[in-house]
C-alpha cells in the first residue's frame, strides 16, 4: 500500500493530471455504461469502439501528423457510420442485430488495422504513436486532452443528473415513456451522442479493443450493491473512476506499459469483489442466507405455494 | 378517492369540452356510424347500440399497418363510445397488439387516421392511458413498486423536478386500490406476475386518463389479480371512462365486457357483447382454428 502512495507522490505534475483525467473518464464511462446496460447496448458499445479505429487513422493520414482534433472527429465519424450501418443492416430484415454488430465490429476493426499498417510504412509513420489507440496509452495524453476529458465527464454527469427520472423511465419502459409525452427519439439521440463522445475521448486512454469493458464492467459491478437506479449510477461512477485511476497508476510502474489492460484489470477486480461480496446479489451473502431460504421453500411447498404455477 | 377521481375527470371533460366541443359535437352528430366495415349487415346492429351510448371518444378509419414486411392490419375502422368496456379479440397474429400500438403512435401506420376526443393522439396524450404487455419490460430493473407507479405522473411533474409528497401519496393510493399497499417498497423483481401486472394498472390509474388501452392485462395472472383488475376496469367504466382491452380468453368475454371487437387483420364484427358475441362471428374471426367450449351464445 505504501508503495502505491510513494508512487503517487513521486508522479510528475503531468502524470497527476493524466491520473485525474483517467478517473474522470472512468466516471463518465460508468454513468453512460449504466444507460447502455439497460438499453442492451453492451455489445453495441464494443462495436462502436472498434468502429472508431479507421477514423482515427484516416484523421491522422489526412493531416500527416498527430492532430488530436482531426483524429477525434475521424473517430466519431467512423463510429457513427458503424452505428448507422448496424441499424441499416438490421432494418433491412434478414440479418439480426447481434450479427450486424459482429459484422461491423470486425470489418471496421480489420480495416483500421490494415490502414494502420499502411500508415506506419509512411515516412515518420512509425513514430506516430497510433498503435497506442489500440490498447490505450494514457501517458501520451497532454494538457488539452485532460481539459477535453474533464469537460466530457462533467457534461455526462450533468446530462444524467438533469434527466435522471426521464432516463429511468426511458430505459425501463420506452413505450410508456412516449405515452407520458417524453421526447423518446430526442433522448435516444442524445444518449447515442453521449455514448459515442465518451468512447471517442476514451480510446486514447483505454484503446478501441478494451473501451467497452470500461463501459460495461462498472455498471455490472454496481448491480451487486444497490437496489435503486440512482444507486446503480452512483456506484457505477465510483467504480469506473476507481478503475481508471488505479489502472493508470499501475501502468506508470513500467516503461511503455499500455493503460487499457490495467484499467480493465482494475475494473475486473472490482467486479470480482462485487460478484463475491456484493450486498445485493453477491455469492457469499447469498450463500449465508441460503440456509434460511431452503427452510422457507419447504414450508412454501407444504402450504400449496406450488399450485399457483399450474394455472398459467 | 373515487369521488375525487370522478370530479377531476368531470372537470377535465368540461375543460376539454370548451376547447374542442365543436369538433366533438360534430363527431357525434354528423357521423354516428362512419366506420362502416366491408360488411354492411353489421352496421344496423351497431347503430342500435351506439345510439344508447355517449359521444365517440375514439375513431379509427382505414388503418393499415405492416409487421416485418407483412401486412397485418388492412383497412381497420371502428368507433368507440364513452363509458364502454371493450374487448379486442382475435386469433394469434390477428394484429391485436399491433392495432393498439399503431393507435398510440408506437407502431408506424401505413394509412388511415386515428382520432381520440376528436383530435390526433399526440395532441391529447394526457387524456390517454396505456398499459403495455407485462412482458414488454425487464422486471429486473432496479426499482420498487411505488417508483414504477410514480412514472405515471412524470408527465405532470415535468423536467428537472423531483416527485413531491403529493405525488407519492397519489401513487400510494393507487397501489392501495390495487391491493398492493404492503409491497410499495418491494423491488419489482421480487413481485409475483400478478403483482407486477397490478403495478402496471396502478401506474395507469394515477395518470387519471379518460381513455385507457390495455394490452393483455389478464395474461398469466392469478385469479385474485384477474378479479382485482376486472373490478377496477368496471369501476373506471362506471365513472364514465372508456376502456379498450386486448383479451385472449373467450370464455370470460361475456362476463367481463359490454362490447366486443372481433379482429383478424381487419374488423370482422364490432358491437355490444349481447349482439355480436356469437358462433357466427367467432367462426368468421377464428376460422377453423377455434374450438370454442362455451354453449351460451350462437
Check CB contact under 8 Å for A182 and B151.
no
CA distances from A191 to A159, A161, A256, B65 (A): 9, 13, 34, 29
Place of cell 420498487: B144
Going by their DSSP bridges, the two strands B85-89 and B259-264 should be labelled as: parallel
List the single range of A39-53, A249-263, B283-297 with lowest mean pLDDT.
Answer: B283-297
- Amino acid A148: pLDDT: 87
CA distance A251 to chain B (A): 35
Considering only CA atoms, which of B167, B169, B140 is closest in space to residue B155? B167
Q: How far is residue B194's CA from residue B15's CA, in Å, rounded to a whole number? A: 36
Q: How far is residue B34's CA from residue B79's CA, in Å, rounded to a whole number? A: 8
Please, are residues A16 and A144 in contact by the beta-carbon 8 Å criterion?
no
Is any Cβ of chain B less than 8 angstroms from the Cβ of A228? yes
Whether the per-residue pLDDT at A9 is higher than 80: the answer is no
Is any Cβ of chain A less than 8 angstroms from the Cβ of B155? yes
Residues of chain B in contact with residue A178, where contact means CB-CB under 8 angstroms, are 104-106
User: Residue B284 has which C-alpha cell?
Assistant: 368468421
Probe site for chain B from A175, A185, A187, A188 (most B CB atoms < 10 A): A175
User: pLDDT over 70 for what percent of chain A?
Assistant: 88
**Touching B: A residues 266-295, CB under 8 Å:** none
Closest CB to B128: pick one of A165, A179, A227: A179
Name beta bridge partners: B67: B70
- Amino acid A143: pLDDT: 80
- Amino acid B24: pLDDT: 34
Check CB contact under 8 Å for A181 and B155.
yes
Helix, strand or coil for residue B82? coil
Please, are residues A277 and A285 in contact by the beta-carbon 8 Å criterion?
yes
Q: How far is residue A106's CA from residue A112's CA, in Å, rounded to a whole number? A: 10
- Amino acid B138: pLDDT: 96
- Amino acid B290: pLDDT: 61
ipTM associated with this complex: 0.86
Check CB contact under 8 Å for B142 and A182.
no
Structural Rg of chain B based on CA atoms: 19
- Amino acid A79: pLDDT: 96
Question: Please, what are the domains in chain A?
Answer: 13-302 (1.10.3470.10)
Q: What is the mean pLDDT of chain A?
A: 87
Most distant CA pair in chain B, distance: 57
- Going by pLDDT thresholds of 50, 70 and 90, the confidence category of residue A310 is very low
CATH superfamily of B2-289: P-loop containing nucleotide triphosphate hydrolases (3.40.50.300)
Is any Cβ of chain B less than 8 angstroms from the Cβ of A163? yes
- Contacts of B273-282 with CB under 8 Å at 24 or more apart are B273/B87, B275/B45, B275/B48, B275/B49, B276/B42, B276/B45, B277/B253, B282/B250
Check CB contact under 8 Å for A231 and B142.
yes
User: Residue B181 has which C-alpha cell?
Assistant: 399497499
Kind and range of the H or E run holding B201: helix B193-206
Higher-scoring residue by pLDDT: A222, A11: A222
Q: How far is residue A70's CA from residue A68's CA, in Å, rounded to a whole number? A: 5
Check CB contact under 8 Å for A227 and B187.
yes
Is any Cβ of chain A less than 8 angstroms from the Cβ of B164? no
Kind and range of the H or E run holding B268: strand B266-272
pLDDT in tens, A77-134: 999 999 999 999 988 878 898 999 999 999 999 999 999 999 888 776 666 678 888 9
Check CB contact under 8 Å for A180 and B152.
yes
Pick out chain B residues at pLDDT < 50.
Answer: 1-52, 294-298
CA distance A162 to chain B (A): 6
Structural Rg of chain A based on CA atoms: 22
- Going by pLDDT thresholds of 50, 70 and 90, the confidence category of residue A287 is confident
Check CB contact under 8 Å for A166 and B125.
no
Check CB contact under 8 Å for B101 and A38.
no
Name the residue ranges covered by the structural domains of chain B. Answer: 2-289
Closest CB to A232: pick one of B106, B125, B142: B142
- Going by pLDDT thresholds of 50, 70 and 90, the confidence category of residue A65 is confident
**Touching A: B residues 34-73, CB under 8 Å:** 68-69
- Amino acid B2: pLDDT: 43
Is any Cβ of chain A less than 8 angstroms from the Cβ of B157? yes
- Amino acid B298: pLDDT: 40
Q: How many other C-beta atoms lie within 10 A of the C-beta of residue B64? A: 17
- Residue B166 CB contacts under 8 Å (≥ 6 apart), including other chains: none
Name beta bridge partners: B119: B116
pLDDT in tens, A141-155: 778 888 888 899 999
Q: What is the DSSP secondary structure assignment for residue A196, as one 8-state letter? A: H
pLDDT in tens, A155-207: 999 999 999 999 999 999 999 999 898 999 999 999 999 999 999 999 988 99
- Residue A211 CB contacts under 8 Å (≥ 6 apart), including other chains: A29, A45, A46, A49, A136, A199, A202, A203, A260
- Amino acid A11: pLDDT: 72
Residues of chain A in contact with residue B104, where contact means CB-CB under 8 angstroms, are 175, 178-179
CA distance B209 to chain A (A): 11
- Amino acid B188: pLDDT: 97
The model's pTM: 0.83
With CA atoms as reference, the chain A residue closest to B189 would be A227
Amino acid at each position: 500500500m505504501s508503495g502505491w502512495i510513494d508512487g503517487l507522490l513521486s508522479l510528475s505534475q503531468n502524470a497527476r493530471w493524466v491520473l485525474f483525467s483517467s478517473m474522470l473518464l472512468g466516471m463518465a464511462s460508468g454513468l453512460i455504461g449504466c444507460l447502455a446496460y439497460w438499453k442492451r447496448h453492451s455489445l453495441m458499445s464494443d462495436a462502436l469502439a472498434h468502429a472508431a479505429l479507421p477514423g482515427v487513422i484516416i484523421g491522422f493520414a489526412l493531416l500527416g501528423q498527430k492532430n488530436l482534433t482531426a483524429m477525434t472527429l475521424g473517430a466519431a465519424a467512423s463510429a457513427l457510420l458503424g452505428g448507422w450501418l448496424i441499424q441499416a443492416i438490421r432494418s433491412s430484415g434478414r440479418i439480426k442485430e447481434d450479427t450486424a454488430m459482429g459484422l461491423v465490429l470486425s470489418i471496421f476493426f480489420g480495416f483500421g488495422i490494415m490502414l494502420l499498417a499502411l500508415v506506419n510504412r509512411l515516412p515518420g509513420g512509425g513514430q506516430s504513436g497510433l498503435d497506442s489507440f489500440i490498447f490505450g496509452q494514457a501517458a501520451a495524453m497532454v494538457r488539452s486532452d485532460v481539459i477535453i476529458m474533464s469537460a466530457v465527464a462533467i457534461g455526462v454527469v450533468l446530462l444524467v443528473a438533469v434527466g435522471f427520472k426521464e432516463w429511468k423511465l426511458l430505459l425501463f419502459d420506452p413505450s410508456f415513456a412516449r405515452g407520458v409525452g417524453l421526447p423518446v427519439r430526442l433522448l435516444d439521440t442524445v444518449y447515442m451522442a453521449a455514448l459515442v463522445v465518451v468512447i471517442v475521448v476514451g480510446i486514447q486512454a483505454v484503446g478501441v479493443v478494451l473501451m467497452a469493458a470500461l463501459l460495461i464492467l462498472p455498471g455490472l459491478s454496481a448491480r451487486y450493491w444497490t437496489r435503486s437506479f440512482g444507486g446503480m449510477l452512483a456506484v457505477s461512477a465510483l467504480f469506473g473512476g476507481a478503475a481508471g485511476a488505479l489502472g493508470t497508476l499501475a501502468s506508470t510502474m513500467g516503461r511503455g506499459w499500455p493503460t487499457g489492460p490495467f484499467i480493465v484489470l482494475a475494473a475486473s477486480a472490482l467486479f470480482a469483489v462485487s460478484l463475491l461480496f456484493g450486498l445485493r446479489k453477491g455469492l457469499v451473502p447469498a450463500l449465508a442466507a441460503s440456509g434460511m431460504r431452503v427452510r422457507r421453500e419447504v414450508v412454501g411447498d407444504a402450504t400449496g405455494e406450488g399450485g399457483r404455477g399450474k394455472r398459467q | 378517492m373515487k369521488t375525487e377521481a370522478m370530479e377531476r375527470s368531470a372537470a377535465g371533460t368540461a375543460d376539454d369540452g370548451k376547447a374542442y366541443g365543436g369538433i366533438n359535437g360534430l363527431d357525434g352528430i354528423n357521423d354516428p356510424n362512419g366506420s362502416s366495415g366491408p360488411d354492411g349487415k353489421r352496421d344496423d346492429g351497431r347503430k342500435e347500440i351506439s345510439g344508447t351510448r355517449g359521444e365517440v371518444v375514439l375513431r379509427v378509419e382505414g388503418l393499415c399497418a405492416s409487421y416485418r414486411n407483412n401486412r397485418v392490419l388492412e383497412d381497420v375502422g371502428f368507433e368507440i363510445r364513452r363509458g364502454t368496456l371493450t374487448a379486442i379479440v382475435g386469433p394469434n397474429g390477428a394484429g391485436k397488439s399491433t392495432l393498439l400500438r399503431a393507435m398510440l403512435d408506437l407502431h408506424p401506420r401505413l394509412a388511415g387516421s386515428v382520432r381520440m376526443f376528436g383530435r390526433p393522439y399526440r395532441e391529447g396524450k394526457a387524456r390517454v392511458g396505456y398499459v403495455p404487455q407485462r412482458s414488454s419490460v425487464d422486471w429486473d430493473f432496479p426499482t420498487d413498486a411505488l417508483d414504477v407507479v410514480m412514472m405515471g405522473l412524470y408527465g405532470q411533474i415535468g423536467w428537472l423536478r423531483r416527485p413531491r409528497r403529493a405525488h407519492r401519496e397519489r401513487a400510494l393510493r393507487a397501489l392501495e386500490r390495487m391491493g398492493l399497499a404492503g409491497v410499495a417498497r418491494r423491488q419489482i423483481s421480487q413481485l409475483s406476475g400478478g403483482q407486477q401486472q397490478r403495478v402496471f394498472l396502478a401506474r395507469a390509474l394515477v395518470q387519471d386518463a379518460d381513455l385507457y388501452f390495455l394490452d393483455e392485462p389478464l395474461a398469466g395472472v392469478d385469479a385474485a389479480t384477474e378479479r382485482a383488475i376486472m373490478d377496477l376496469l368496471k369501476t373506471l367504466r362506471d365513472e364514465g371512462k372508456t376502456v379498450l382491452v386486448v383479451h385472449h380468453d373467450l370464455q370470460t368475454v361475456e362476463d367481463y365486457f359490454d362490447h366486443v371487437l372481433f379482429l383478424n387483420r381487419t374488423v370482422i364484427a364490432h358491437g355490444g357483447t349481447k349482439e355480436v358475441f356469437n358462433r357466427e362471428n367467432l367462426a368468421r374471426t377464428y376460422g377453423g382454428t377455434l374450438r370454442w367450449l362455451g354453449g351460451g351464445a350462437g
